[in-house]
Chain A
Amino acid sequence: MRLIVNGEERSFAASATSPAWWRRWGLNPRKVAVERNLEIVPRSTYAATPIAEGDRIEIVHFIGGG
């Protein structure tokens, strides 16, 4: 399965049907926000959110600057 994550195409095992797709990079879900196909994925639903071929995922966090 191919996803566009933060603008880059990445492959995932086809079995990666939902949970933990953000954990792949060791990210702490409490420190990031996730958008799937331009829709916010609420933190409480990360584990239950299905992903599909071609989904566009954005993972962002706060940085200094402002």
Chain B
Amino acid sequence: MNAVIQPTDVGEDTWTVAGRTFRSRLIIGTGKYKDYALNAAAAEASGAEIVTVALRRVNLSDPSQPMLVDFVRPDRFTYLPNTAGCFTGEEAVRTLRLAREAGGWDLVKLEVLRQHEAPAAGHGGDAQGAEAAGRRGVS
């Protein structure tokens, strides 16, 4: 009846996942921005505490190019690594182990793509990936 939510109540509303507690429920992406500076400004303005990120090979021909971690700082945002670009569960797990070593989290955004060459083979990639990930302690 008296369910008036006071601003202070909202401020103390938290949620916890994989051992970390957050105040914001917003998880935002890091793709398609003009540059990392704009990305960082948008992430900051949004109030989000978690950003989804991808993992790629370092461009060894140009190692001086801007790095995401220098803008969207991992000490300010929790990185939620994804496995976009992976076609098999095993590939996803390999990517995630690297992501964890690179400073990611035990929690991941699991995505396994269907192979274009075998559309009739069914999907199941996410399920296989989840199973493989679970066996290796990532969730």
- The answer to whether A and B interact is yes
Q: Could you list which residues of chain A lie within 8 angstroms of chain B, going by C-beta atoms? A: 5-8, 25-27, 30-35, 38, 40, 42-43, 58-66
- Shortest distance between the CB of B105 and any CB in chain A (Å): 11
Cβ–Cβ contact B102 & A66, under 8 A: no
Those of B48-79 within 8 Å (CB) of chain A: 51-58, 60, 63-64, 67-70, 72, 79
| Nearest 4 A/B pairs, CB to CB | A66-B52, A33-B102, A65-B54, A64-B30
CB distance from B125 to the nearest CB of A (A): 17
Query: How far is B53's CA from A61's CA once the two chains are assembled, in angstroms?
Result: 10
Interface centre among B39, B68, B84, B101 (most CB of A within 10 A): B101
Q: If the complex has contacts A25-B63, A27-B63, are A64 and B68 also in contact, measured as CB distance less than 8 A? A: yes
Q: Which of A8, A34, A63 has its CB near the most chain B CB atoms (within 10 A)?
A: A63
**Beyond A25-B60, A25-B63, A31-B69, is A63–B55 a contact (Cβ under 8 Å)?**
yes
B68: chain A residues within 8 A (beta carbon): 61-64
Q: Known contacts A5-B60, A6-B60, A26-B63; is A64 also within 8 Å of B98 by CB?
A: no
Are the C-beta atoms of A62 and B98 separated by less than 8 Å?
Answer: no
Q: Chain B residues with Cβ under 8 A from A63's Cβ? A: 30, 53-56, 68
Are A66 and B94 interface neighbours, CB within 8 A?
Answer: no
CB<8 Å pairs between A and B, sample of 12: A8-B60, A26-B63, A27-B63, A32-B58, A32-B102, A33-B98, A62-B55, A62-B81, A64-B30, A65-B31, A66-B30, A66-B84
Cross-interface CB contact of A62 among B84, B97, B103, cutoff 8 Å? B103
